[in-house]
Structure 1
Amino acid sequence: MPLRAIIFDFNGVIADDETPHLLMFQQALREEGLALTAEEYYGTYLGMDERNCLAALIEKARGRRDPACEQRVHDRKVALFRDYTATHQPELFPGVVDFVRRAKSRYRLAIASGGTREQITHALEGTPIEKDFAVIAAAEDTTIGKPDPAIYRLTLTRLNEAAPLSQPPLQAADCLVIEDSLAGIQSAKAAGMIVLGVATTYPAEALKEADTVYP
């Protein structure tokens, strides 16, 4: 079946901003007396959407769910990242702009990310690829994040609803997903899509569940 659509994860695939996200998480958690090491973040939580990441992290630290704490940390992290990006627009990975511009002439393009819509649109604002994605599915669009396949299933549905309508309708097997994390790879595979892992955040051997890995 020929490829007809490409769906991109955002953080670590389009935007080179995983480190600022970690630093803002660490500061927000520190204010609640909680700690997050880089090893924990990259080893366990990266790839999850922010709310589910915080729920899992706080439950592990305190032995129980604490929705009020989760909300405070989430809101504080969002505010910290907003302040950071007010003076530092996240950089796009080298080659991303050229790849997206070339791909747009042949495929439907979308973003499916555990980041917030505000973060995604801000990072794309003013770039040559700002308007190149037919669909942007963000953390607030699903109640459960990666590795659950919900966000990729939603993205496929929205691609089929977006103009110009695809004829025949897109199927999961028509879609190539580009991911940088194991949780994201598992999410896309569970949705029935083809997955390219990119070794921007993890070494290639950590992404072996993808159909192929670059480089």
Structure 2
Amino acid sequence: MLCTKEAALRAIIFDFNGVIADDETPHLECFQQALAESGLTLTKEEYYGTYLGMDERTCAAALLLKRDGRCAPSIHARIAERKATLFRDHTATQKPALFPWVSGFVERAAGPYRLTIASGGRREQILSALAGTAIEQHFELIVSADECAVGKPDPAIYEFALRQLNARRPRPPLLRSSECLVIEDSRAGIQAALKAGMRVLAVATTYPASQLTDAHLVVPSLDGIQPKDLAQRLFPPGN
């Protein structure tokens, strides 16, 4: 009889906006402006409701498909580039703030676990927000929209992150999806992580906790959270 190896926590994969960086509002405002310049409208309620907090590429494609019956690549690319420019201009004068509890949590997790960021945001935005912070060097891998063209709720970005982590340490035992904990703040992100076979901790920084119940565990924030406690609770022996 074959024995199934128990899953223990080995890696923590963080979404970025709304989990590490407290910058969801300026991101949405810049996105709304970029959309408006292409004749599209999107309210905050629609983004967090109808479009389930999808990443911007997926949301823009859905809006174009709804309006035009197709997603024209040229318009889609123009919206993405314009939004990136607007956000770059914004952060030139207002550096995105990290949530105050993030540094402590990341520093406590950095020794025992492999840490990764997997975000639908641009790499330059992530690196800029992390630059000069106490946690800048704690992430083994950063996967952004620049490396993975498919947005959440598709699981592609989390599957890609797992492959990249195993490529960095190819000797057995390879990291399994069941040994990864994803920290997310959106319903689309939760769905992406679940489809990738990973466990999910949701932080209610963007959505109310009542809308995040598909996650294995929902907390108000990472304030006071101990990574080892998450490991014991979400990866118990015999799971």
* Matching of residue 140 in structure 1 with residue 146 in structure 2: yes
> Contact 2:40–2:63 (CA<8 Å) still a contact in 1?
no
Q: How many positions carry a matched residue from both structures?
A: 214
Match of 2:117 among 95, 106, 111: 111
Identity %: 62
Deviation at 1:44, TM superposition (A): 3.4
| Larger helix percent | 1
SS at match of 2:39: coil
* Matching of residue 32 in structure 1 with residue 31 in structure 2: no
Deviation at 1:46, TM superposition (A): 5.6
* Matching of residue 94 in structure 1 with residue 73 in structure 2: no
Tell me the distance in 1 between the aligned counterparts of 2:79 and 2:211.
29
SS at match of 1:44: coil
TM-score by length of structure 1 reads 0.94
* Matching of residue 207 in structure 1 with residue 212 in structure 2: yes
In the alignment, structure 1 segments of 5+ residues that lack a partner are none
Q: 1:153-172, aligned counterparts within 5 Å?
A: 153-162=159-168, 167-172=172-177
* Matching of residue 6 in structure 1 with residue 12 in structure 2: yes
User: Which 10-residue stretch deviates more, 64-73 or 93-102?
Assistant: 64-73
SS at match of 1:106: coil
Per-residue CA deviations over 1:150-175 (Å, capped at 9, x if unaligned) read 11011111112225x67521111111
> Contact 1:135–1:162 (CA<8 Å) still a contact in 2?
no
* Matching of residue 80 in structure 1 with residue 86 in structure 2: yes
Instruction: Tell me which residue corresponds to 2:188.
Output: 183
> Contact 1:147–1:186 (CA<8 Å) still a contact in 2?
yes
Instruction: Tell me which residue corresponds to 1:41.
Output: 47
Match of 2:58 among 49, 52, 61: 52
